Amino acid sequence: MSATDATLKAKYPAKAHCRRVAKYLTDAGFSRDGVIYLEAQKTRMVEDDDQAMHFRQRRYFFYLSGCKLPDAYLTYNIPQDQLTLFIPPIDPDSVIWAGLPESKEEAYRKYDVDHVLYTDEVNAALAAYGPSGSTTVYAIPEQVSEHITFLPFAATQFACLKEAIDECRVVKDSYEVALIKKANEISTLAHIEAAKVVRHATNEQELYGAFIGTCISNGAHEQAYHSICASGTSCSTLHYIRNDQPLRERLNILLDAGAEYECYCADITRTFPISGTFTPESKTIYDIVDEMQQSCFKLLRANVKWEDVHENAHWVAIRGLLKAGILVGDEQEIFDKRISVAFFPHGLGHYLGMDTHDTGGHADYDDPDTMFKYLRVRGEVPAGAVITVEPGIYFCKFILDPVLEDPGLSKYIDQSVLDKYWTVGGVRIEDDVHITQDGYENLTDTPKL
Ligand code: GLY
Ligand code: MN
């Protein structure tokens, strides 16, 4: 058994997460005499149809329960350190269609909780917390059902729980890292399969099918995000979603795809030539992006400032594009005028966890500085965070044309050289890394070229 699978034999550490969130709240000055209350995502019906919509568990609820059941609830009594999960009881009308629901005994066995009750007992359980006269209930306001009553509580505190969980989620424990690693292991099998399929594929959709099919066959039934199976110039569309174009006469594939495993995500990008061999231009760009990533890896350690790592990627890009002859002029001027942003317009990476773009990054999308506007993590990256390192260089006419039309900026670009690169489309290489005190652990073992 792999070390990852051995770690995952234990229960998801819901109680530890409850304690961590409670500590965050009390450290922030909120009352310790309190109860955390959360609801799972509801079963929702498809409009004008009698089928349930695709279900995705609420991350706040999963973090404190490890439970993927729809329509469940939880309470965590902070001073007593007691976690109670409320699961849906048997609905006799639905058993013939859906089978028996998870029983209390199964729930006790599966989840790291102290008590399991049925969902029709939630209000009674909440009423039992109240009589002390001082208890605060912590909840996420837009995630409280109408039939729930907090009247027995002395105070309701709706302003801080979401933020507390968002911030606690940044630092992963070893169980969460193992889940992300497992999502990566399955995604790697799927990336390898998709790369094999490209040898005889005629359309992007064959890679798409191979990727998702391989994830499902290996136990990951959900995708972390919509796969990006781009070919040719579509590789320059950062979140390309069509995945249906013929591969004929196109140079490269950019495959950005990751499985979700037990609510945890992988996010992996590989770029490779359809023919098996890069053209010289594609190889030039691939090597620059590879160097951007390798150079950024060297900077990773606890509390590194993410803006510094992102800037480093730009410097490597600028030097590489100057060497290739696409850029011309003084490298400091090119950096200061943000010319490289037209080739590398997105951020170097984002936190990764239960969400692909995970919480706690404090992006500033209003930043007037184009180099940092789309950087999804700002400030220091703590030990224990999992973050993507995903540099890229793209040849996108929509972005580059305004630069080429501006004489103050176009003087830094040799258009006759640039013209040889449009068909490269774009190159991105993306791995998921776990930040440690002195460095990092790369959780992605997907082969590179
Ligand atoms: N994998 C897509 C993204 O990080 O935005
Ligand atoms: Mn990503």
Q: How remote is the CA of residue 371 from the centroid of ligand 2, in Å?
A: 17
pLDDT band of residue 384 (cuts 50, 70, 90) is: very high
Q: How remote is the CA of residue 227 from the centroid of ligand 1, in Å?
A: 9
Long-range contacts of 158-163 (CB under 8 A, 24+ apart): 160/25, 160/28, 160/30, 161/21, 161/25, 161/36, 161/38, 161/60, 162/60
pLDDT at 360 over 70: yes
Q: Which of 141, 170, 199 represents a domain boundary (last residue)?
A: 170
Distance CA 58, CA 169 (A): 14
Mutate to test the pocket of ligand 1, among 356, 376, 389, 446 (most ligand atoms within 8 A of CB): 356
As a whole number, the mean pLDDT across the chain is 97
pLDDT at 150 over 80: yes
Residue 191 lies inside a defined structural domain of this protein? yes
Residues 187, 46 within the same domain: no
Which residue bears the tokens 């951007």? 292
Residue 447 lies inside a defined structural domain of this protein? no
Query: What per-residue confidence (pLDDT) applies to 131?
Result: 66
Q: Is 358 in the pocket of ligand 1 (CB under 6 A)?
A: no
Which structural domain range is residue 405 located in?
174-442
Ligand 1 atom with minimal separation from the 349 CA: 4
- The DSSP bridge partners found for residue 256 are 228, 269
- Does residue 224 contact residue 267 with C-beta atoms inside 8 Å? yes
Average confidence (pLDDT) over 122-144: 89
Q: How remote is the CA of residue 130 from the centroid of ligand 2, in Å?
A: 44
Average confidence (pLDDT) over 244-265: 98
Residues 100, 163 within the same domain: yes
Q: Is 176 in the pocket of ligand 1 (CB under 6 A)?
A: no
Q: Is 158 in the pocket of ligand 1 (CB under 6 A)?
A: no
pLDDT at 133 over 80: no
DSSP single-letter state for residue 53:
P
Query: What per-residue confidence (pLDDT) applies to 118?
Result: 98
Q: Is 256 in the pocket of ligand 1 (CB under 6 A)?
A: yes
Residues around ion ligand 2, judged by CB within 5 A, are 267, 388
Distance CA 218, CA 182 (A): 10
Tens-digit pLDDT profile for residues 387-443: 999 999 999 999 999 999 999 999 999 999 999 999 999 999 999 999 999 999 999
Q: Which of 170, 198, 220 represents a domain boundary (last residue)?
A: 170
Distance CA 113, CA 14 (A): 7
Ligand 1 atom with minimal separation from the 256 CA: 1
Q: Which of 111, 143, 170 represents a domain boundary (last residue)?
A: 170
pLDDT band of residue 1 (cuts 50, 70, 90) is: confident
Tens-digit pLDDT profile for residues 193-204: 999 999 999 999
Q: How remote is the CA of residue 289 from the centroid of ligand 1, in Å?
A: 16
Q: 248 exposed, middle or buried (CB, 10 Å; 0-12, 13-18, 19+)?
A: exposed
Residues 225, 304 within the same domain: yes
Tens-digit pLDDT profile for residues 41-80: 999 999 999 999 999 999 999 999 999 999 999 999 999 9
Ligand 1 atom with minimal separation from the 390 CA: 4
Give the number of other Cβ atoms within 10 Å of residue 391's Cβ. 30
pLDDT at 222 over 70: yes
Residue 7 lies inside a defined structural domain of this protein? yes
Mutate to test the pocket of ligand 1, among 243, 260, 357, 376 (most ligand atoms within 8 A of CB): 357
Query: What per-residue confidence (pLDDT) applies to 146?
Result: 97
Residues 180, 166 within the same domain: no
**Into how many domains does the chain fold?**
2
Distance CA 182, CA 7 (A): 10
Query: What per-residue confidence (pLDDT) applies to 430?
Result: 99
Q: What is the pTM of this model?
A: 0.98
Pairing of strands 252-257, 259-261: unpaired
Residues 181, 223 within the same domain: yes
Residues 150, 38 within the same domain: yes
- Phi, psi at residue 22, to the nearest 5°? -60, -40
Name the helix (H) or strand (E) containing 385.
Answer: none
Residue 258 lies inside a defined structural domain of this protein? yes
Mutate to test the pocket of ligand 1, among 390, 432, 433, 444 (most ligand atoms within 8 A of CB): 390
CATH code for the domain of 244 = 3.90.230.10
Residue 394 lies inside a defined structural domain of this protein? yes
- Phi, psi at residue 137, to the nearest 5°? -105, 130
Q: How remote is the CA of residue 15 from the centroid of ligand 2, in Å?
A: 29
Q: Which of 337, 294, 339, 346 is nearest to 316 (CA)?
A: 294
Q: How remote is the CA of residue 93 from the centroid of ligand 1, in Å?
A: 42
Residue 449 lies inside a defined structural domain of this protein? no
Average confidence (pLDDT) over 160-172: 98
Six token digits for residue 205: 């959709």
Q: How remote is the CA of residue 328 from the centroid of ligand 1, in Å?
A: 30
Residues 183, 236 within the same domain: yes
Residues 145, 194 within the same domain: no
Residues 140, 284 within the same domain: no
State in Å, rounded, how far the first CA of the chain is from the last one: 29
Query: What per-residue confidence (pLDDT) applies to 134?
Result: 77
Query: What per-residue confidence (pLDDT) applies to 349?
Result: 98
Residue 400 lies inside a defined structural domain of this protein? yes
Ligand 1 atom with minimal separation from the 356 CA: 4
Ligand 1 atom with minimal separation from the 224 CA: 1
Mutate to test the pocket of ligand 1, among 223, 255, 355, 430 (most ligand atoms within 8 A of CB): 430
Q: How remote is the CA of residue 116 from the centroid of ligand 1, in Å?
A: 37
CATH code for the domain of 46 = 3.40.350.10
Residues 287, 353 within the same domain: yes
Residues 130, 226 within the same domain: no
Residue 311 lies inside a defined structural domain of this protein? yes
Q: Is 225 in the pocket of ligand 1 (CB under 6 A)?
A: yes
Mutate to test the pocket of ligand 1, among 184, 227, 239 (most ligand atoms within 8 A of CB): 239
Q: Taking the mean position of all CA atoms in its chain, how far away is CA 3?
A: 23
Residues 351, 210 within the same domain: yes
